[in-house]
A and B are shown apart, each in its own frame.
Chain A
Amino acid sequence: MHYGHALTFGTFLTPSARDPGQVVSLATRAEELGFDLVTIQDHPYQPAHLDAWTLLTWLAGRTRRVTLAPGVLNLPLRAPAVLAGAAASLDRLSGGRLALALGAGAFWKAIGAMGGRTLSPGESVAALSEAIDLIRARWDVTGEGPVRLHGEHYHVDGAARGPAPAHDVPLWLGAAKPRMLRLLGEKADGWVVTHQLLRPGQLAQGNRRIDEAAVAAGRDPREIRRLLNVSGDFLGGPGEKWVEELLPLVVDDGVGTFILMTDDAETLERFAGEVAPALREAVERELPGAFRRPLRRAAVRARRREGIAYDDLPETLADTTIEPGDVGYAEVRSTYLRGGAPGLVLRPGTEEEVAEALAFARAHPHLPLSLRSGGHGISGRSTNDGGIVLDVSRLDSIDVVDPARRRVHIGPGARWMDVAAALAPHGLALTSGDYGGVGVGGLATAGGLGFLARKHGLTIDHLRAVRMVLADGSVVRASDHENPDLFWAVRGAGANFGIVTSFEFEADEVGDVGWAQLVFDASDTAGLLHRWGAAQEAAPRDVTSFLLVSPPRRGRPPMAHLMAMVDTADPETILDRLRPLAEIGPLYDQSVVLTSYASVMANASPDAHDGRGEPVTRSAFAEHITPEFAADAERLIRGGAVYFFQIRSVGGAVADVPPDATAYAHRSANFSVTTFGVDRRRVDAAWDRLAEHVDGLYLSFETDTRPERLADAFPPATLRRLRELKAAYDPDNVFRDNFNITPSTTKEPTHA
């Protein structure tokens, strides 16, 4: 009889207040010795003890790997709704290392003396049951409405949900009597029981009770881990003898965790050295291959989507993967601009795991596959409905590997504000975009139109090599010398070719910069646009500006917001450069500061994404802002179909690169034009009227999916070459969430 849980080992420590350092050092020693779990008994009425919650939290700050659990927490002296928040905090602070073990209460006289409520055993079980519901409800941030529970013992009416813990915190119960065992089978994730206190046969009997209750509640008994406190006395004699005594408890009684009750460092050492490894081996011999990762709770499994082989996830990915019933789901389902409901979010943490995740995703060819780094995709559909998201945001390292040669290696999950902050101390910067929250993965595979563009070019122009996982799972490096075709394609159409796991950039030396924000009355919209275009084209390369025009609203004229960066620390030059830009129209407001690129980029909130719906955008390039273009643009802005209209200057260094040098081909354009609206048909109809003034588009800002857009994104020769390469590198069209380039039909042999 076993429940398939991998064997783990824990300690049970006395939180003695007399020498607080001792219990702390035992806990850290246990972690060093390889124990998986540290539990601290909780008797809040016991003056010789430290408060268990406080101590556990302290230990979270002093350990890195072990799971922490009270053993078990005395519920009657803790308000469950507050406890739920405390547990979520501890789980988040510790990086997902909490197991919440609860007890219905004991020592009622002492509880009463503390001012707690004394309950009969039956009442205390009922109260615990209510508390479990309350705690789970506060953690369930995807649930409907606030938390309400009108129980016999707890009355909560309208408490906000959240925060959610960092992981699906297991709820364990300390239990011995039938009523508690039944509750455990119905609602909990683990049974904690002390071996010494059991009569022979009681373990099996308890398991039976739990299993029956679980099955009756529609659960699988394997969801529930069995944890046994064992004490040093019981484990007398040599290590082999301990193994001999513990083995049947695993094989016959399904114990998944042994918790050693001792405050003696030497016993911990002996157990870790002699007993734990030998017992693991013995178990593997007796029950080969029986141990897998624990089943997710029935309530979680109930929210699974069709067609995903959840239980086939490789072990390495299982812990970090998030499915719809998981606590972390609310924070990963959507992206910055898009609401989503994926069936599975894979979150690999290494290049090998990326390859594994891709293999898993490829085993589901019928499902949508979205690739995600920073989650700011506009064209890139980095979430979906019912499909798989392969999220590489954990690959977020930023290493300045060679400051002298300005070489930096960056993971796709890093955000540009963090990149800017990491490079600044070296006097370096990488031009990116205007928003620090955007991820490296999406931007550096498409282009990168940023505030240093005219002086330093596109982000992709700084790319010297990438490492990527291809559709067939192979890992390659691409640069001008290795897989040069692929390197060409990655710089402008990377999303079609694989998953970049590392970018190798050459950054620029950038000191302090001038940063201006000017607000204009844009009543003469066309005139303003035209004057700005001319001033910007005439300006030296060290100034790059973006102009945002908002439509008139409630009697207020249209307004224009200009953001300009001047790449120099010289105040005179900054003012010189800004003067012509400030003269394009009546100024409402202005601010000019000398600051760092990093502080301009530090403009995003760290909150999880909670986009809704679908963005409706269009994009185009323009050589010049002619009076005719400006007039038609004014018509668009005033027409009511769009709420956001922005033109960015490019050109300058961007145009130094030949159009066929990278898959991003629109090098000669001086301007990139973008709009956001609400209604797809209206936006498209209004935008299509600009066609005669514009040419091509920046794919990252485009959400129109009509097939013609592909030809706008890539000129014919570029598109032809991309199609051929697509056929070679991704013949099955695995990567298709962002301006999908279908493989050319004449299949070529795959690359060597």
Chain B
Amino acid sequence: MPDYGHDLLFGTFVTPSVSPAHHAVDLAVTADRAGLDLVTFQDHPYQPRFHDTWTLLSYVASRTERIHLSGNVLSLPLRQPAVLARSAASLDLLSGGRVELGLGAGAFWDAIDAMGGRRLSPAQAVAALEEAIAIMRQLWAADRPGGVHVKGDYYTADGAKRGPAPAHDIGIWVGAYKPRMLALTGRAADGWLPSLPYLPGGPSDLADLNARIDEAATSAGRSPSDVRRLLNLNGRFSDTSTSLLNGPPDQWAEELAGLTLEHGITGFVLATDDEYATELFASEVAPATRELVAAERRG
């Protein structure tokens, strides 16, 4: 059933390798020049082989022109929500509205704990994420009266000043698979950002997961289309078609258009550190997919 009707976004998921220092920057610049909509980076502050993702995003933003940027996803337990909200608004202002906020409730708790972060159970982490989202939304709503007031079990803001307002409505995108997180996504997020390789049943798992989000959105008085559905992908370009996203670009386009029309996915984020694949994704897959979807939507 669902095609939530959003326009399509195409992006990459680039390894934030710390060495060579500009590896990820160069790939992001390639994606920007190639005309992709989005470049994203994973965030593991405890991983010494990776850049600090917020710093990398800020730097990449200053070296690119049109592309939007997001963590994929930021590790909330090691980032103070009010500071993060203000940082995101700042980068959004500096970049002319190119920041989206991919957020995760946290994973690798041993590593988080070793860094001095707080260890939470899965249920606690979901609750903490919801509190953080509330703080961030209040802080961005600069024209509302009064300060930010959220009295949570995990995060509290008690009269922090609001602002600055970001340059555009920053999308809060959440990586979610389990019922509690899916419900939170439907209630509170602007986007859903799972990874195809983590879906044990492949794309067909999407139907069920979407339905849970839709349900949660509806019961929170929102519309299911308030939540954009994005998907992290792995794939390989090759001359002959062997399996899902393993074949020539036109095969990809058909498969991605299928994901849009059947499962409402309108953000395709390709995990790649390869310039050639990045360019091919932008120059061949994206336009062909858009065309197929547009034709189908025209009916």
Contacts and interface: CB of A to CB of B under 8 A. Distances in A.
Interface of A: 15, 17, 20, 24, 44-51, 53-55, 57-62, 77-82, 85-86, 88-90, 92-93, 95, 110, 112-116, 141, 146, 154-163, 166, 606-608
A82 B79 contact: yes
Nearest to B158: A113
Contact of A161 (B48, B51, B63): B48
A82 B45 contact: yes
Given A20-B93, A47-B162, A79 B116 contact: yes
A692 to B, nearest CB: 48
Given A51-B90, A79-B115, A163-B49, A57 B159 contact: no
A89 B52 contact: yes
A162 B48 CA distance: 5
B142 A47 contact: yes
A15 B60 CA distance: 19
A61 B87 contact: no
B127 to A, nearest CB: 15
Interface centre among B20, B63, B80 (most CB of A within 10 A): B80
A146 B90 contact: no
A163 B18 contact: yes
A160 B83 contact: no
A236 to B, nearest CB: 33
Contacts, number: 178
A57 B55 contact: yes
Nearest to B55: A89
Given A113-B147, A157-B113, A47 B164 contact: yes
A659 B115 CA distance: 62
Interface in B212-266: none
A671 B199 CA distance: 53
A15 to B, nearest CB: 8
Contacts of B89: 17, 51
Contacts of B56: 89, 93
B116 A159 contact: yes
Interface centre among A24, A45, A79, A157 (most CB of B within 10 A): A79
B22 to A, nearest CB: 7
B211 interface: no
Given A92-B21, A156-B114, A157-B113, A50 B90 contact: yes
Contacts of A608: 19
16 contacts: A54-B90, A57-B58, A61-B62, A61-B63, A77-B80, A80-B116, A90-B52, A92-B19, A113-B159, A114-B82, A114-B157, A156-B116, A162-B48, A163-B49, A607-B19, A608-B19
A80 B94 CA distance: 25
Q: Sort A-B residue pairs by CB-CB distance and give the 7 closest, nearest first.
A: A61-B62, A162-B48, A47-B163, A57-B58, A17-B164, A92-B21, A86-B52
B52 A58 contact: no
A53 B59 CA distance: 11
Given A57-B59, A61-B59, A115-B135, A79 B78 contact: yes
Q: Chain A at the B interface: mostly helix, strand, loop or mixed? A: mixed
Nearest to B53: A89
B67 to A, nearest CB: 14
A110 B148 CA distance: 12
Given A82-B45, A93-B56, A161-B48, A44 B115 contact: no
B61 A58 contact: yes
A580 to B, nearest CB: 28
B131 to A, nearest CB: 10
Contacts of B45: 81-82, 85
Contacts of B18: 88-89, 92, 162-163
B52 A60 contact: no
Interface in B98-142: 111, 113-117, 135, 142
B30 interface: no
A78 B83 contact: yes
A77 B135 CA distance: 15
A93 B55 contact: yes
Interface residues of B, number: 57
A112 B52 contact: no
Given A17-B93, A146-B114, A606-B20, A51 B83 contact: yes
Given A51-B90, A93-B56, A114 B23 contact: no
A54 B91 contact: yes
Nearest to B45: A82
Contact of B160 (A90, A115, A156): A115
B160 A45 contact: yes
Interface of B: 18-23, 25, 45-52, 54-56, 58-63, 78-83, 86-87, 89-91, 93-94, 111, 113-117, 135, 142, 147-148, 155-164
B59 A77 contact: no
Contacts of A166: 21
B48 A79 contact: no
Contacts of A116: 80
A115 B82 contact: yes
A436 B55 CA distance: 31
B59 to A, nearest CB: 5
A115 to B, nearest CB: 5
B94 A93 contact: no
A88 B63 contact: no
Contacts of B80: 77-79, 114-116
Given A607-B19, A608-B19, A53 B87 contact: yes
Contacts of A95: 21
B126 to A, nearest CB: 18
Nearest to B79: A82
A113 to B, nearest CB: 4
Given A115-B80, A159-B116, 14 more contacts: A44-B82, A54-B94, A61-B61, A78-B80, A82-B78, A85-B51, A89-B52, A93-B22, A93-B56, A160-B46, A160-B48, A160-B111, A162-B48, A162-B49
A45 B90 CA distance: 13
B160 A110 contact: yes
A24 B114 contact: no
Nearest to A116: B80
Contact of A60 (B62, B78, B113, B164): B62
A606 B19 contact: yes
A251 to B, nearest CB: 39
Contacts of A49: 164
Contacts of A58: 58-59, 61-62, 91, 94
A146 B60 CA distance: 30
Nearest to B60: A61
A157 B117 CA distance: 10
A83 to B, nearest CB: 9
A49 B86 CA distance: 9
Contacts of A50: 90, 93-94, 164
B55 A90 contact: yes
B19 A60 contact: no
Interface centre among A62, A93, A159 (most CB of B within 10 A): A93
Contacts of B46: 159-160
B157 A86 contact: no
Nearest to A331: B19
A51 B87 contact: yes
Contacts of B111: 159-160
Nearest to B47: A160
A54 B58 contact: yes
A17 B20 CA distance: 32
Contacts of A155: 116
A99 to B, nearest CB: 15
A152 to B, nearest CB: 13
B66 to A, nearest CB: 15
Nearest to B54: A86
Contacts of B117: 79
Given A161-B48, A162-B48, A54 B87 contact: yes
Contacts of B114: 146, 156-160
A82 B76 CA distance: 12
A158 B46 CA distance: 10
A93 B90 contact: no
A59 B156 CA distance: 32
